[in-house]
Chains A and B, each alone.
Chain A
Amino acid sequence: MGNHELTEMLIHALENSQVGFDSFKESFQQCASAFEIGNDQEGVRVLTELIDPLKGFSRFCADMIGSHVENIPEELFNELGTQCETFQNLLADILEEMESSNFVEVGDILKYDLGDLISSMSESFPTIALALRKSVPQTQE
């Protein structure tokens, strides 16, 4: 697969990322609410289902930074880098607090820290998509 095609796929993913972000936010809320009222079994269940998608998203962000550093404007790139680093740190925090069964913290990280981060990333991604689209040369039939 050529670079052009990969970039098109990335742009498509970024432009349609809102569905994924909404799904994350809903799951974060569901998990945090379960822990809040003491329904730990439900909270752990939702969180367990979330871990792989969250790790996958983290890898996606890392790949994006690594492969398209030249095509993303510097300011956006730096912002994306910070967001991805924060995301990875929060994910590590969740796993650590989960091991200690410190579910109050897990719920707070999901609901507030990760929730806010996801919201700002959901605003960044379409902007990055636009920047990438401008950088891709248009072929003419």
Chain B
Amino acid sequence: MPTISNQTSEPTVFQKNCKTVASACINDTLDKIKAAEDTGDLTFQEAPEFPLASLVINNRLFPLQSPPRPEIEATNLINHWLQGSLKRRTITLLGIPNLYIVSELIDKLPQGSTLILLDTSAKYLKKLFSCSDLSILISDSIKIHLLCHEDPTALASAFHNIISNETCLSDATYITPAQARTRPELGDIQNSLNAKIRLSAMDRVTVASFADEWLQNCLINLPEISQSPGIKVLFDQFKKKDALIICAGPSLNSSLEYIKEHQKKYLIIAVGTALKPCLNAGIRPHLTIALDSDPKVYRQFMNIEDAPGVLITSYTLFPGIIQMYSSNILPFNSLVTKGFAAWLNNADCEHGFLNVGGTVSLSALDCALRFGCENLFVFGLALSFPEDGTSHAKNSMYQGQKISHGLVKVKGNRHDTVNTTKQFANYIEIMNSYFRDVSASFRGKIFNVNSCGAHIEKLELMRPEEFNSRKHNVAEDFQQIVSSLIKPVNSEIDSLCISTIESFKEICLKSKNLLSSVTSNKTPPELKEFENEIKNCPLCSQLLAPSLKSWCISIENSNDLSPQEMTLSLLNQINGASEWIYGLLENSHQRYKQQTQGVSHG
């Protein structure tokens, strides 16, 4: 009998690399690389530090880095890209990773930086994995992400998710000149990635600029919010039901009569601005959704004597509206209220999450998807203006408003292009991104019921007349279904308020004392202790974060502050914010006690 050898073969370079960089690979990148076919288009030549890559195009070799001195080329390129600045940052490289550049970046970038490596070609990455030692991609100081997707749109979407979670936003997408020349298709991808970076930047600036106002509204709305079970009670409760999402664009006007005729056959969710046009047309939405903290939003609800249905509301909504609906609200958490939601969780108060982005219409759609609705019919989602510049449906708070300048052209539903504003063009991009993300998992159909308007991806176009003549479901009492799901809740808000108020009073006192001890540019030791105290107190750090974000924005342009002035400024901000927060909490706690006195939900 022949003996069986017990020797195991040495893992290949490819196998070693798969193991080494597995943790850096995003989504199914590693699977794609493993499954990719081999390619002769990319070759590698041995070199002292890293193999030299070349692309073979029409039988000619195009080197992807300078063969004589690739390390000098890498240095010059990085200096040109980063203009000598090497602060902590996120850098995105598109194309086959140039290991000389990657190595130099890992060497030079400070601790905490992130490197995102992207490509659309799994076969090129497979070749790289087979020919080069990628152990340099594992670094203790730099976080590295490797992402590959053959679909540029999906790549950009996954990239957006990555940068949304990074502390430092990627400043731009870089591509080596050699790859820009030999792979011209990467140019368009680079543009779409940079567009995602701009969107992310817009989000962050919005959050930081409005953080204080949002927190103020969250705290004022606390009594009503804390007594509600939240939007989550409706999740998955409307399976096999269809929903109408009513937005407030001018295209809604031609659909109102059809919606009215069939309103009992559908769950109706209206955005706040569409409520008055609906009521005026005899339509009573079961749910109305509003998010904006701006007081002008109150005009959407002003003079409505008997507001129908339930209000779906962000924590940040202008308080006057929440108090109008009183207990008839279903609040939700979102990306912009994570800190406040975390604070509420201390009292076992959790409401459910909705996506927000640009326009409230997105959140309305997100509701319907999370409710489990089968098919969605969206009305009034124009995101564009007709020739006369009318901006919204008739009888809305924007009645008579016309937009005629600062317009750009975007792809239309029924026309090649339609007019819109740059802001709406961004909303269209946000919507497109959202639908790309959800379309894979959503089993039903989403219809854009529109005779005009801007084109939104993944939505099936339908004329209002076609909606009217389709086969509808039977009528149901959706209002009763919604009401039956809303039951009062118990929470520990009372004790949470008390503990938080005490903690903030202490911080207020300590920060006031520290202000007098900062007399020079030298940091007093008590300051570090104070900083740790805030960081280690969840109740405080969760609510203080918005004020600190506002402070960061305010000092961003103050280059001439000395260290002492900056320290004093921060302490003043903490002192002022603490006093403001516990003041708001005391008022809200008082209102909460008045509302719940004698009421037991046990």
A40 at the interface (CB under 8 A from B): yes
Interface stretch, picked from A50-58, A85-93, A99-107, is A99-107
A28 within 8 A of B: no
Interface residues in B57-73 (C-beta closer than 8 Å to A)? 60, 62-69, 73
Interface size of B as a range: 10 to 19
Which residue in chain A gives the minimum CB-CB distance to B80? Answer: A37
Q: Select from chain B the residue with minimum beta-carbon distance to A103.
A: B181
Q: Which of A37, A108, A112 contacts B177 (CB 8 A)?
A: A37
Provide the main secondary structure of the chain B interface. mixed
Q: Once the chains bind, are A33 and B177 in contact (CB under 8 Å)?
A: no
Question: Which A residues are CB-close (under 8 A) to B178?
Answer: 103-104
Contacts of B66 in A (CB 8 A): 36, 104, 107-108
Q: What 1/0 flags go to A33-66 for Cβ under 8 Å of B?
A: 1011110100000000000000000000000000
State whether the Cβ of B77 lies closer than 8 Å to any Cβ in chain A: yes
Q: Mark A93-120, 1 if CB is under 8 A from B, else 0.
A: 0000000111111011000100000000
* A105-B76 contact in complex given A38-B180, A112-B68, C-beta closer than 8 Å: no
What's the least CB distance linking A90 to chain B, in Å? 14
**Min distance, Cβ B419 to any Cβ of chain A, angstroms:** 35
- Chain B residues with CB under 8 A of A102: 60, 62
Query: Separation in Å of the B190 CB from the closest CB of chain A?
Result: 12
Contact A36 B67 (CB under 8 A): no
Contact A36 B73 (CB under 8 A): yes
Q: A33-B76, A108-B68 are in contact. Are A38 and B63 (CB under 8 A)?
A: no
Complex CA–CA separation, A104 to B65 (angstroms): 7
Question: Separation in Å of the A107 CB from the closest CB of chain B?
Answer: 7
Residues from chain A with a CB closer than 8 A to the CB of B177 are 35-38, 40, 103-104
Report yes or no: A100 in contact with B60, Cβ–Cβ below 8 A: yes
A-B pair number, CB within 8 angstroms: 39
Residue pair A101, B181 in contact (C-beta under 8 Å):
yes
CA distance A103 to B501 in the complex (A): 66
Task: Give CA–CA (A105, B62) in the complex, Å.
Answer: 8
* Assembly CA distance A112 to B76 (angstroms): 16
Give the CA-CA distance A105 to B63 in the complex, in Å.
7
Note all chain B residues with C-beta closer than 8 A to A37: 76-77, 80, 177
For residue A93, give the distance in angstroms from its CB to the closest CB of chain B: 13
Chain A nearest CB from B73 CB (Å) reads 6
B contact residues around A101 at 8 Å (CB):
181
Q: Shortest beta-carbon distance, B237 to chain A, in Å?
A: 55
Cα of A37 to Cα of B178 in the assembled complex, Å: 9
Residue among B63, B76, B177, B178 with most chain A CB within 10 A: B177
The 8 A CB mask of B165-183 against A (1 = contact, 0 = none) is 0000000000011101100
Are A104's CB and B63's CB within 8 A?
yes
Which residue of the partner chain A has the closest CB to B180?
A: A38
Smallest distance from the beta carbon of B427 to chain A beta carbons, Å? 33
* CB nearest neighbor in B for A102: B62
A96 → B minimal CB distance (Å):
10
Bound-state CA distance A38–B186 (Å) is 14
Q: In the bound complex, what is the Cα–Cα distance between A95 and B73 (angstroms)?
A: 22
* Shortest Cβ distance from residue A9 to the other chain B in the assembled complex, whole angstroms: 37
B77 in contact with A36 (CB, 8 Å): yes
Contacting residues of chain A (4-53) with chain B, CB-CB under 8 angstroms: 33, 35-38, 40
Q: How many angstroms between the C-alpha atoms of A5 and B80 in the bound complex?
A: 51
**How far apart are the CA atoms of A33 and B178 in the complex, in Å?**
13
A92 to chain B, nearest CB (A): 16
Interface set, chain B 410-455, CB cutoff 8 A to A: none
Q: Which residues of B from 173 to 216 have beta carbons under 8 Å from A?
A: 176-178, 180-181
Given the complex, which residues of A lie within 8 Å of B76, measured CB to CB?
A: 33, 36-37
Minimum CB–CB distance for B78 against chain A, Å: 10
Q: Indicate which residue in B64, B67, B180 contacts A108 across the interface (CB closer than 8 Å).
A: B67
Q: Say how far A35's CB is from chain B's closest CB, in angstroms.
A: 7
Query: Which A residues lie within 8 Å of B73 (CB)?
Result: 36
Q: Separation in Å of the A10 CB from the closest CB of chain B? A: 34
Complex: A38 Cα to B60 Cα, angstroms = 20
Closest residue to B73 on the A side, CB-wise?
A: A36
Interface residues of B in 25-68 (CB under 8 A from A): 60, 62-68
Q: Cα distance A102–B76 when bound, in Å?
A: 19
* C-alpha gap A102/B56 in the complex (Å): 12
Closest CB in chain A relative to B361 CB, distance in Å: 41
Which residues from A are CB-within-8-Å of B176?
38
For B60, the chain A residues whose CB sits under 8 A away are 100, 102
Q: How far is A33 from B66 in the complex, measured between Cα atoms in Å?
A: 12
- Report chain B residues within 8 Å CB of A105: 62-63
Instruction: State A101–B58 Cα separation when bound (angstroms).
Output: 13
A40–B177 CA distance with the chains assembled, in angstroms: 9
Question: In the complex, A105→B64 CA distance in Å?
Answer: 10
Q: Point out the residues of chain A lying under 8 angstroms from B77, CB to CB.
A: 36-37
Minimum Cβ distance to chain A for residue B352 (Å): 48
Q: Give Cα A108–Cα B64 distance, bound, in whole angstroms.
A: 12
A72 and B178 CA atoms in complex are apart in Å by 44
Question: Distance (Å) between the CB of B455 and the closest chain A CB?
Answer: 34
Query: CB-nearest residue of chain A relative to B66?
Result: A108
- Residues of B64-109 at the interface with A, using a CB-CB cut-off of 8 Å, are 64-69, 73, 76-77, 80
- 0/1 per residue, A57-84, Cβ < 8 Å to B? 0000000000000000000000000000
Interface centre among B69, B76, B178 (most CB of A within 10 A): B178
In the complex, chain B residues whose CB is within 8 Å of the CB of A112: 68-69
Query: How far, in Å, is A6 (CB) from chain B's closest CB?
Result: 40
Q: Please name all residues of chain B whose beta carbon is closer than 8 Å to the beta carbon of A100 when the two chains form the complex.
A: 60, 62
The smallest C-beta distance from A124 to any residue of chain B, in angstroms, reads 23
Report the minimum CB–CB distance from A34 to chain B (whole Å).
10
Interchain CA distance A33-B77 in the complex, whole Å:
9
Minimal beta-carbon separation of A38 from chain B (angstroms): 3
> How many angstroms from the CA of A55 to the CA of B62 in the assembled complex?
26
Q: Inside 8 A of B63's CB, which chain A residues have their CB?
A: 104-105
> Which residue of A is nearest B74, CB measured?
A36
> Which residue of chain A has the shortest Cβ distance to B65 in the bound complex?
A104
Docked pose: A105 CA to B67 CA in angstroms: 9
Binding site for A on B (CB under 8 A): 60, 62-69, 73, 76-77, 80, 176-178, 180-181
Could you show 7 A-B contacts with beta carbons less than 8 Å apart?
A36-B77, A38-B177, A100-B62, A104-B65, A104-B177, A105-B63, A107-B66
Given A102-B60, A102-B62, A104-B178: 13 more A-B contacts, CB < 8 Å: A36-B66, A36-B77, A37-B76, A37-B77, A37-B177, A38-B177, A38-B180, A100-B60, A100-B62, A104-B62, A105-B62, A108-B66, A112-B69
Q: Pick the 8 closest A-B CB pairs, nearest first.
A: A38-B177, A37-B80, A112-B68, A104-B178, A104-B63, A108-B66, A102-B62, A36-B76
